[in-house]
Amino acid sequence: MVGTRPNFMKLAPVARMLAARRAVTHVIVHTGQHYDAGMSAAFFDELAIPLPDHNLEVGSGPHGVQTGLIMQRLEPLLADLRPDTLLVYGDVNSTVAAALVAAKLGIRVGHVEAGLRSRDWTMPEEINRVVTDRLADLLFAPSRDAVETLHAEGVPPERIHFVGNVMIDTLCWALPQAQALDPAGRRGLAPGGYAVATLHRPSNVDNPATLLELVATLAELGRRVPVVFPLHPRTLARLCDLGVDRSGHDGLRLCEPLGYVEMLGLVASAALVVTDSGGLQEETTHLGIPCLTVRPNTERPITCLHGTNRLVPRDQKTILAVAHRALAYRSPARPVLERWDGRAAERIVRVLCDGAAFPADAPPAAAPPPHSEPRTLARPESALLD
């Protein structure tokens, strides 16, 4: 069951692994939370995900309406299908709505990307994470700290499987294609000579003063290196309300949301990423690209502790100071995170189909791939003060 752009990248490797199991029928339900072609259909196409068997077409709306509509439309479908397991992904409204329906119907719930916590109860995603994990029977954790969080919350250990990060499975699968596409070269950008920005969190884009300051910050950064800024529909709508010129200015280049492969290719050879996205914090860590996350917290602290991520406040002076430092001193090392090895979906399917178990106390993953060397960076608190 999927519903939004970041869900599709998580579904893709699991769908591929399940397709290889002839005895298993995998039914894909799309809630329709994201519905624009550029936010949805394009991803199914380029990630080679089979088209959804069912689309609930719920669209946008206030949280209660969106969540309620998904539950209302999913309940009869699940009651009819009676799957052995309902797999839900990530932390969006579609995730928690589907988990609620399945749990009440007595259907086993598997949560892919379990155990992430920002400890920020003002984020709708945090509420979705906590509730979904409480409802799940199988909790697929991407990292060791996520496993520890689940233990601390009292989840029975036998429900928790430390499988690794499915986003990295998709990244590994698509990277050769993304590099061959050379989206930077097609835009006349030199490798390592530009930045990529994305912003869509309500806390960053819904307040006009905050959004205008962030756009001004990116425009200022654009005076040093070109900044490509693909606009999420929410952000585009807010900018249109404010009468901001979509053609951009200085080095700031505003554009439509990009497809997964194009975005990956652009990020992979960028000098810097400025974002509030969860997935990009992970992808930049795996790629060794410096990432500034414009948030006071992250549910992915491992990307700050062992990766290339830095939390930055919304203030222009700090963002520019940290950005300029990151542009000046980039390490060529690529962090290696345990079980972020392109095999998370394989482990998930072994749990689902073979009854395998992946406890966190199992031996660490095999040797890192040859291009990588481990690196530990500053703690998020100190990074914030950089």
Residues that bind ligand UD1 (CB under 6 A): 4-6, 33-36, 39-40, 60, 91-93, 124-125, 200, 232-234, 237
Contacts of 97 (CB under 8 A, 6+ apart): 31, 66, 67, 68, 70, 71, 74
Would you give the DSSP letter of residue 287?
A: H
Least CB distance to ligand UD1 at residue 279 (A):
8
Pick the closer one to ligand UD1 by CB: 15 or 123.
123
**For ligand UD1, the closer CB: 30 or 347:** 30
Cβ distance to ligand UD1 smaller for residue 60 or 177: 60
Compare residues 113 and 125 and give the one whose CB is closer to ligand UD1: 125
Least Cβ distance, residue 249 to ligand UD1 (angstroms): 24
Choice between 232 and 286, CB closer to ligand UD1: 232
* 200 given a catalytic annotation: yes
Starting from the edge strand earliest in sequence, which strands make up the sheet with 291-293, in order?
Answer: 252-255, 227-230, 195-198, 272-275, 291-293, 309-311
Cα–Cα distances in angstroms (integers) from residue 167 to residues 24, 70, 185, 227, in the given order: 23, 24, 25, 24
Given a contact cutoff of 8 angstroms between Cβ atoms, the answer to whether 291 and 196 are in contact is no
Are 244 and 218 in contact by the 8 Å Cβ rule? The answer is no
d(CA 175, CA 188): 20
3-state secondary structure of 358: coil
- Residue 40 near residue 15 (C-beta atoms within 8 A): no
Q: Is 35 helix (H, G, I), strand (E, B) or coil?
A: coil
What is the C-alpha end-to-end distance of the chain, expressed in Å? 41
Rounded CA-CA distance 304/44 in Å is 31
Bridge-based pairing state of the strands 272-275 and 252-255: unpaired
Q: How far is the CB of 217 from ligand UD1 (least distance, A)?
A: 21
Closest separation in Å from C-beta 95 to ligand UD1: 8
Catalytic residue among 34, 111, 161, 200: 200
Contact criterion met (CB below 8 Å) for 282 and 167:
yes
Residue 164 CB, nearest approach to ligand UD1 (Å): 21
In single-letter form, the type of residue at position 237 comes to A
DSSP 137: S
Q: Considering beta carbons, is residue 68 or 233 the nearer one to ligand UD1?
A: 233
DSSP codes joined into one string, 213-230? HHHHHHHHHTTTS-EEEE
**∠ Cα 232 173 1 (to 5°):** 55
The minimum distance between CB 70 and ligand UD1, in angstroms, equals: 10
Q: Which residue, among 122, 125, 139, has the nearest Cα to 4 in the 3D structure?
A: 125
Least Cβ distance, residue 3 to ligand UD1 (angstroms): 7
Cβ proximity to ligand UD1: between 4 and 269 the closer is 4
Round to whole Å and give the CA distance between 58 and 74. 10
Determine contact, residues 365/338, Cβ cutoff 8 Å: yes
Query: Which one, 242 or 378, has the nearer CB to ligand UD1?
Result: 242
> Considering the complex, what minimum distance in angstroms separates the CB of residue 46 from ligand UD1?
16
HSE (side-chain half, CA atoms, 13 Å) at 62: 2
Residues identified as active-site:
200
